[in-house]
Amino acid sequence: MRPLPVIGITLSVALVVTACSSSPAPPASPLSGSSALTCGGGARCAEPGIVRWSVTLPRSSKFDIDSGSWFLNVPGLAAEGYVNSAIAPNGYLATVTVAPGSVVFQQPGRAAIEAIDPATGRRLWTTKLATPPGFTPDTTVKGALVLDILNADGVITVYDSRDGLWWLVNAATGAAGRPRRLASYSQANGQGTADVLPVTEQSVALLNDTQVQGVDPATGSVRWQVPLRPWTGYAVIGQVLYADNDPYGQDSGGNNASGQATAIQRVDLATGRALPDWPLPQQLNGQGGKVVQFGEDPDALLVETSTVLAGIDPATGRAIWTAALPASTVGAAQAGPTGTPPTVEYLVAGNTTDSPPPGTGTNIWRILVVSLTTGQATPVSLGRSFPYSDAGIHTSSFTGDDWNLYGSVMLAAVTTKDQPTGSGGFSYTRLEGVDPQTGRVLWRGPWAGDLYVLGETFTGPPEIIAESCAPSGLVADQSANVGDEAFCDSERLYAINA
């Protein structure tokens, strides 16, 4: 499946980590308490809003950041077509992928990946990827090395799209093979690769918008090649590739722009055999749909249109269930709250103007939670005191997907007052868990120089994976013409209990 893309803090200041209570009081100032994004040990490390574990991301203070900035759902924004450079300096954020039992991430700007036990924060392994002669990753802001990581069935593939390199990594041990050049670069059509898909330790698939190739990871040679019609979305289930046949792809916002898809293309990745296409189910009412897949239930094959989400039997192509999506649905499906059954969720607007203001009169927004097992859709109305702006929901114009309902809480962020230009001061932000129906703050996370929610766990303790710059690591940028700009030399990747 496409990484979810599911997508940061510093000066001698300190950080308060507050425990969960019915109505916790905010700390008086982010300048008191601990200066690190850590828990400190003990039973409180399992409480909501507390940092469960934290690791340092190796980095020098080269990245110019806006202190106090935050993004609550980097994977959601990426799925809508927004890349790292539109969110943070290129290469500043760690590439993260979450799989059962491990969180795998790239050290920013480096050809190195690490695996963390999400329950304990223990490093499972660290692997420096072998690189070909003459390989010199540019770690400047404009050219930092950014790797794509896919983790499935005990096999990890790492893809460097800038240099056309990929590696195969053992998910249990971190042992990595030698780097390979993309086979598709040598093809006459010159098409680049969209994803490097792990199939088995003896087989890798290279996928782009016109073909899929089976590659021997030991030699890099192409074993087979199957042409594809242009597609918008795909899924891999049981070593079979499923892709729609949308001829126009996505628009600039990442949405299915054409509505022209008519079938699901299939390829057996174990043998390289093209399987017969399936027509889209009649329950989609003749609408074109895109294939989607989510980490909560990687065996669920889904097709999404502007008005319907359908669960498809991957053995027969028939619709198992359908869920109606309101016309005022905003953006694409996101990962749903953790638990059983697995779910996805949509944001449903009351109206997209500020008159009347959201939460008043008839302008009531909702979250629609859809079960991936039955298709049952459960609406959750946002309360009249819900903090729309703090939760990443911009009601008057662009909404995007910077919102996230996790478990029973909606994620929100609060920020200290902006500092005047030239003052040398910094702003700080923190993550909060808010009851969506009442707007009440259930827990508060630690203060940080910035905040990026990069993912979430689907098994084990419910955790939100984030990256921030520790307050003690903020260094003033003397050349900045904006008061909040700073260098960060103390990035941390950490897990907050949900």
> Could you read off the pLDDT of 417-429 as tens digits, one per residue?
766 555 557 889 9
Position 325 pLDDT exceeds 60: yes
Q: Convert the pLDDT of each residue in 441-474 to its tens digit.
A: 999 998 998 999 998 887 777 889 999 988 888 8
Per-residue DSSP letters for 225-246? EEE----S-EEEETTEEEEE--
What is the structure's pLDDT at 57?
A: 84
Query: Could you give phi then psi for residue 84, rounded to 5 degrees?
Result: -50, -45
What is the structure's pLDDT at 115?
A: 95
Position 80 pLDDT exceeds 80: no
- Please list the residues that pair with 444 across neighbouring strands: 432
The Cα 39–Cα 17 span in angstroms is: 7
| pTM (predicted TM-score) | 0.84
Taking residues 243-260, what's their average pLDDT? 57
The Cα 103–Cα 97 span in angstroms is: 6
The Cα 232–Cα 251 span in angstroms is: 10
Q: Cα dihedral sign for 294, 297, 302, 304?
A: negative
The Cα 67–Cα 430 span in angstroms is: 12
8 A C-beta contact, residue 108 and residue 57:
yes
Position 354 pLDDT exceeds 80: no
Q: Which CA distances in Å does 97 have to 100, 106, 389, 456?
A: 10, 9, 27, 9
3-state secondary structure (DSSP) of residue 302:
strand
Q: Convert the pLDDT of each residue in 97-121 to its tens digit.
A: 988 888 999 988 889 999 999 988 8
Position 250 pLDDT exceeds 70: no
The Cα 212–Cα 36 span in angstroms is: 46
Q: In terms of pLDDT, which residue wins out, 30 or 55?
A: 55
Position 222 pLDDT exceeds 80: yes
Taking residues 28-41, what's their average pLDDT? 55
Tokens at 202, concatenated: 């003896």
What is the structure's pLDDT at 251?
A: 42
Taking residues 59-71, what's their average pLDDT? 76
Taking residues 142-165, what's their average pLDDT? 83
Position 215 pLDDT exceeds 50: yes
Taking residues 147-166, what's their average pLDDT? 87
End-to-end alpha carbon distance in the chain:
25
Rg (CA), the chain: 22
Q: Which helix (H) or strand (E) holds 112?
A: strand 112-116
Position 30 pLDDT exceeds 70: no
Q: In terms of pLDDT, which residue wins out, 127 or 355?
A: 127
What is the structure's pLDDT at 464?
A: 92
209 exposed, middle or buried (CB, 10 Å; 0-12, 13-18, 19+)? middle
Taking residues 287-304, what's their average pLDDT? 87
Q: Convert the pLDDT of each residue in 163-210 to its tens digit.
A: 888 999 999 999 999 999 886 654 444 456 678 999 888 889 999 888
Taking residues 392-420, what's their average pLDDT? 77
Backbone region of residue 418 per phi and psi (left: phi > 0; alpha: psi in -120 to 50; beta: other values) = beta
Q: Which CA distances in Å does 125 have to 112, 115, 303?
A: 11, 5, 37
Domain spans of the chain?
1-117+400-498
Position 52 pLDDT exceeds 80: yes
**Contacts of residue 277, Cβ cutoff 8 Å, sequence gap at least 6:** 245, 263, 264, 265, 266
Mean pLDDT, the chain, integer: 79
Position 336 pLDDT exceeds 80: no
Q: What band does 253 get if pLDDT is binned at 50, 70 and 90?
A: very low
- Residue 259: how many other CB atoms lie within 10 Å: 14
DSSP tag of 77: H
